[in-house]
Amino acid sequence: MMMTKDWVKIIKVSDLPKQIGKEVQVKGKSIALFHLSNGDIRAIENKSPYKNGPLAEGIVSGEYVFCPLYDWKISLVTGEVQKPDNGSVEVYQTEIKNDYIYLMV
């Protein structure tokens, strides 16, 4: 049976510092939340495809995060790992309403 996805209220935008990842637990999933320097909010699965590095602890650069364990560069837009490495992580849709971040999970 497929679980339906719903918008889940997470935190206030002002509680998420720019350029610093934050791990949130939603419906039993660990999700890395990012507030980019351009104001965008991005959310991806909080584990690198290689040995499950905690991506919320990674270095943010533009629309990418670097895995803190192995320096893999992962797109916060598509979830794709950049070459020469391979793999991808799940990307979650985000929305801002009344200064709160919502995730589609």
| Residue 65 structural domain | 7-104
CATH of the domain at 22: 2.102.10.10
pTM of the predicted model as reported, rounded to 2 decimal places: 0.94
For residue 50, being part of any structural domain is answered with: yes
Phi, psi (deg, nearest 5) at residue 55: -65, -25
Which pLDDT belongs to residue 103?
A: 98
98: in domain = yes
Q: Count up the domains in the chain and report the number.
A: 1
Average pLDDT over the chain reads: 95
pLDDT at 1: 62
Report, as an integer, the average pLDDT of 6-27.
96
| 3-class secondary structure, 57 | helix
Q: What pLDDT digit, counting tens, does each position of 54-69 carry? A: 999 999 999 999 999 9
Does the residue 63 lie in any domain?
A: yes
Query: What is the model's pLDDT at position 2?
Result: 64
CA distances (Å), origin 24, targets 1, 69, 85, 87, 89: 25, 19, 26, 22, 16
Tens digit of each residue's pLDDT (9 = 90 or more) over 25-55: 999 999 999 999 999 999 999 999 989 999 9
- Let me know if residue 1 belongs to a domain: no
Examine residue 35 and state whether it is found in any structural domain, yes or no: yes
Is residue 2 in some structural domain?
no
Q: Give the count of alpha carbons within 13 A of 45, CB side only.
A: 16
Q: pLDDT > 90: what percent of the chain?
A: 94
Task: Give the pLDDT of residue 4.
Answer: 84
Question: Judging by beta carbons within 10 Å of its beta carbon (0-12, 13-18, 19+), is residue 94 exposed, middle or buried?
Answer: middle
